[in-house]
Structure 1
Amino acid sequence: MNSFKIAICDDDAPMLALYAGAIENCFAKYDSTCSIDSFPYAKKLQETIADKVYDIIFLDIEMPEMDGISLGRYIRNKYRGDVDTEIVYISNREDKVFDTFDIRPLGFIRKRNFVNDCIHVIRLYLSQHAYKKSEFVEIKSGSSIVKMNMRDIIYLECLKDYQYIYTLKEAPVKIKTTMTTLEELLSAYGFIRIHKGYIVNYKFIQAIDKRNVILLAGNKEYTLPVSGAKLTEIRKLYLKLMHKDDVLFTFE
């Protein structure tokens, strides 16, 4: 049975116990357990994550001293891809959803529909958690094999006779193969060939315009050229992958 570490931060202290109970029940529904730490103050959670890592952090958006969006950015900048902590926002302010996109939250839970939205988010998290276990790929480079976690790959670049793999955790990895081989290997896992010299992980795409694809990984932004002839195809594939990845924000 899987067990997960959860943090909840909401300045409405009486609601924390109710949220904790609902989250615990959601995990139990999928044969999993969790340990939950509750925080009525954002600053206290900020201090705690200096020494403790959580699997999911649930954040209220509107809080005194530090709001949930600012705290979410702090968490992302602190970890910078080194850990897999997910952020879920709790609020009735649906107009704030778009303000959270740069933080790449797992989801958005409405307080008035907490249980139903929570079930959806926990199901999504557990499905992704199961998938992560098999996310390593072996890439042949000459006579060698390079094993990499696909979740860490931001994009791949072709320079003359070599390809360079840019990741969250390391300096670019230099390999010798072909972009066609890499495209065939990675396309089933959400990688898109946006140009003859570039393949990108769709999970890091922030924008696609007529000339470029903008990637955001932590606090780093990458601007890569896009093939004009394939622009429509690339946009359609990106939207298809986003839909396949489930819906993060659902409002009735």
Structure 2
Amino acid sequence: MYKFAIIDNHQSDIDKMVEKIHQVYFSKHHMNYDCDTYLGCQTFPFDKYYDAIFLDIEMPEMDGFAFAKEINQKYNPKIIFMTNHDNLVMSVFDYKPFHFIQKNKFDESSTHVLELLCDNLLNKVIKVTNTNNEIDFVNQSQITYINIYEGIVTLHTFNNEIYTTWKSLTSIYKELNQQLFTYINQSTIVNMKYIKEIDPQFTHLILKDRTVFKISTRNKSTFKKTYIKFRLQ
């Protein structure tokens, strides 16, 4: 299930965005999703994962640019800036957003962006079975690490959700973005975006959720090269 958030200090604009998401994703594409709304940034839970955040630029207390800078230090959701002012459009690219919606051309602009987002999300999901034995789809950006124990592969997410699959670790790895995911030992693949620190000898690493993993001697050299390349991107 996809997770979206809308942050805007105008309830009428939130309502329009909620309706447009329902129109495009549920009525047209039959996608399952949750959509949370916030009247400003102050109540936003920065420790909760969202696949995409629809973000008004001009808000009191914390504007959209300041919010984007802070959330990108936690993880990298797809940010869609929303604005009434065309002169702000060029400024959004400094914050690496997915796209932007022009409120003064809302219907045309929002439909276009939502279709692009839909294509992007559907191309970056892993099909899994959740703990209730139901089929689900997990966005790769949400996955922090994947490991195998007693023949069962589990995917762990930023929101501390755990999904299981009977696919092999090797076949899962082939589905992943290998610029982000890498083996650190025979039974563990990590998303390098969620690495907090690595010891100088590259024998252990700590993820942002404080999970600690051993880097195997066999994988050490390859992992080191892959991680350095990732950091230089």
Q: TM-score range by the shorter chain?
A: 0.5 to 0.7
Deviation of the 1:77 alpha carbon: 0.7
Hey, what does 2:33 align to over in structure 1? 34
Structure 2 distance, partners of 1:55, 1:86, is 6
The answer to whether the 8 A contact 2:84-2:102 is kept is: yes
SS where residue 22 of structure 2 aligns? Answer: helix
Within-5 A mapping of 1:90-169: 90-133=82-125, 147=173, 151=177, 153=179, 167-169=192-194
Does residue 18 of structure 2 align to residue 10 of structure 1? Answer: no
Shift of 1:150: 5.6
Q: Specify every segment of 5 or more residues in structure 2 that has no aligned partner in the other structure, as ranges.
A: 127-138, 141-169, 181-190, 203-218
**Does residue 49 of structure 1 match 2:74?**
no
2:55 is aligned to 59
Q: CA offsets, 1:64-97, max 9 Å, x none? A: 0010011011111112x5xxx2111111222223
Distance 1:63 1:127, change over 3 A: same
User: Take 1:118 and 1:57, find their aligned partners in 2: how far apart are those partners?
Assistant: 13
C-alpha distance in structure 1 between counterparts of 2:42 and 2:122, whole Å: 32
Distance apart, 1:38 and its partner CA: 1.4
Matched residues in 2 for 1:98 and 1:151: separation?
29
Q: Report how many residues are paired.
A: 159
Give the Cα–Cα distance (whole angstroms) in 1 for the partners of residues 14 and 179 of structure 2. Answer: 37
Check 1:132–1:40 CA distance in 2 against 1; reply closer, same or farther (3 A cut): same
**8 Å Cα contact 2:46-2:74 kept in structure 1:** no
State whether residues 152 and 169 of structure 1, in contact with CA within 8 Å, keep that contact through their aligned partners in structure 2: no
Gaps of 5+ in 1: 137-144, 155-165, 177-197, 200-214, 224-252
Residue 23 (structure 1) aligns with: 21
